[in-house]
Structure 1
Amino acid sequence: MPATSQPYALIFDMDGVLIDNTPVQARAFQLLFRDLGLTTNARRLLARLNGMPASKILQTVFTNSVSEKKLKQYADQREFLYRVLYWDKRKEIAGLSHFLQEARAAGFKMGLGTGSAADTIGYIIDHLDLRRYFDVVVGADDVERGKPHADTYTTTARQLGVPPERCVVFEDAILGEQAAYKANMRCIALTTTLKPEQFQAPLRIIRDFTEITPAQILELLEQQPTTPKPSKELARRQYMKR
């Protein structure tokens, strides 16, 4: 990347992107549902709604109204279960650190944009010593509206000082991909949570960071200079029934 050109930025979701933790997330939800006497299938639920805050996901599984206080209590219970299950399994997705080092050397700015709260972010990126790679970290506490709204990614781009059209988002979720397009950003999808055909129009679909290089991202940006328009059908929150 020429030193005189305006930089590009890479913006990373956390769950399912920096770490391959969707099965553990689903297991924590399933244990909570069992405790609450619910029969919702957590894997199918996350395939639809992954990327939203846990309390918002939980809100969709109840047929009756549940108070915000109760939803937060359930979300905290799910978070405790997740951390217990994942404690000894925390590791970065294949190729991540090497890719981040190469991207930094290539002149990309880098941000983390996730729906997780600050303590959950720290539980992952500080344990794995990943914070040093990111110029900015934006989480649930920094925006009013989470995914599929664009706020997480527009806030990250603004803090990075990079126009949205020069940002590439790494996502594993339908709602996250739609949030990127709403923010006028392009997207690279990881198949940690979904099948390739479930995404709308990413620049590329990868299993992990051994399958992409910063140089290839620049080529993809030249080949696909426009941002896809978000799909109203995919962006719509499709709530699961119990």
Structure 2
Amino acid sequence: MTSHPSAGRAAVPASPAPVHVVFDLDGTLVDSEPNYYEAGRRLLARYGVRDFGWEEHTRFIGIGTRETLTALRAEYGIDAPVDELLAGKNALYLELAGASTDVFPQMRAFVERLHAAGVPMAVASGSSRAAIGAVLTVTGLDAYIPLYVSAEEVPRGKPEPDVFLETARRMGAEPADCVVLEDAPPGAAAAHAAGMRCIAVPYVPKTASDPAFEAADLLFTGGQSAFTAEAAYTWLIG
């Protein structure tokens, strides 16, 4: 049964520890979507696309950068190779992220609490490995989460389970012992496909009713405004 807590109210999970926690990065741990949007907008402008807005960007939240650029290349009829677009966007994003990236306060509190309790953690993201490393470093989260896996290191990105399964392998954990935190339906679907439990914290409020989120084990329908470290931790430890 999916739980739908409001801030400060917790539910009990179906199965106990051992537990390993796997975080999505963008939109889950950190509010990087504004930087990704701006990097994408600037990149597309180089190729003559002037009308790429936030609403267009939200269609691709939770989808890997390569998959996003492949779709946008076809949609806007851009001749440049995907690898060229990928390099351009990564460079723009790294510049923006290095200047300013915000961690969601309750997510930082959750990470610190898990670390204090000795719970193993990792990041599994559709971003490039360089981007993940830069964000973890600039935010100080690398002190708590040294292990991270990029979708560029596996054959398929989310909603396929590859990046989560590879992360579990590197953690030395069984998928059933992993709990994923995700903000986007493709990521929640990937967690389900990997055989992992999922805490869903929708970044885009209107996606809270998406079937992938409805299948999550713990759903904060209000997104980050409803998420609390206390509620998530209490659910996690049962």
Q: How big is each residue's C-alpha offset from its partner over 1:56-115, in whole Å with a ceiling of 9 and x where there is no partner?
A: 211112258877x72121122222333334443223211333211211333422111112
Which residue of 102, 105, 111 maps to 1:100? 111
The residue number in structure 2 matching 1:182 is 193
AA at the equivalent of 1:216: W
For normalisation by structure 1, the TM-score amounts to 0.76
The residue number in structure 2 matching 1:197 is 209
AA at the equivalent of 2:29: L
Task: Report the alpha carbon displacement of residue 135 of structure 1 after superposing the two structures with TM.
Answer: 5.7
Matches within 5 A, 1:85-96: 85-96=96-107
Which residue of 148, 158, 161 maps to 2:169? 158
**Contact 1:95 1:209 (C-alpha < 8 Å) held by counterparts:** no
Instruction: Tell me: CA distance 1:117–1:84, structure 2 relative to 1, closer, same or farther (3 Å).
Output: closer
Which residue of 40, 44, 66 maps to 1:33? 44
Name the SS for the 1:37 alignment partner.
coil
Q: Which range is displaced more, 21-30 or 144-153?
A: 21-30
- How many residues align? The count is 214
Q: Which range is displaced more, 106-115 or 152-161?
A: 106-115
Q: Which runs of 5+ in 1 are unaligned?
A: 220-242
Instruction: Tell me: CA distance 1:22–1:48, structure 2 relative to 1, closer, same or farther (3 Å).
Output: same
Q: How big is each residue's C-alpha offset from its partner over 1:176-205, in whole Å with a ceiling of 9 and x where there is no partner?
A: 111111101121122334432343333121
AA at the equivalent of 2:167: T
The residue number in structure 2 matching 1:169 is 180
- Aligned alpha-carbon RMSD (Å): 2.6
**Contact 2:30 2:103 (C-alpha < 8 Å) held by counterparts:** yes
**Contact 2:182 2:188 (C-alpha < 8 Å) held by counterparts:** yes
* Match status 1:11 vs 2:25: no
- Distance in 1 (CA, whole Å) between partners of 2:147 and 2:41 is 33
For normalisation by structure 2, the TM-score amounts to 0.77
- Distance in 2 (CA, whole Å) between partners of 1:187 and 1:97 is 18
Instruction: Tell me: CA distance 1:132–1:209, structure 2 relative to 1, closer, same or farther (3 Å).
Output: farther
Task: Report the alpha carbon displacement of residue 218 of structure 1 after superposing the two structures with TM.
Answer: 3.1
Q: Which runs of 5+ in 2 are unaligned?
A: 1-15
Task: Report the alpha carbon displacement of residue 27 of structure 1 after superposing the two structures with TM.
Answer: 2.3
Instruction: Tell me: CA distance 1:132–1:86, structure 2 relative to 1, closer, same or farther (3 Å).
Output: closer
Task: Report the alpha carbon displacement of residue 125 of structure 1 after superposing the two structures with TM.
Answer: 0.4
Q: Quick one: percent identity of the two aligned structures?
A: 28
* Match status 1:218 vs 2:218: no
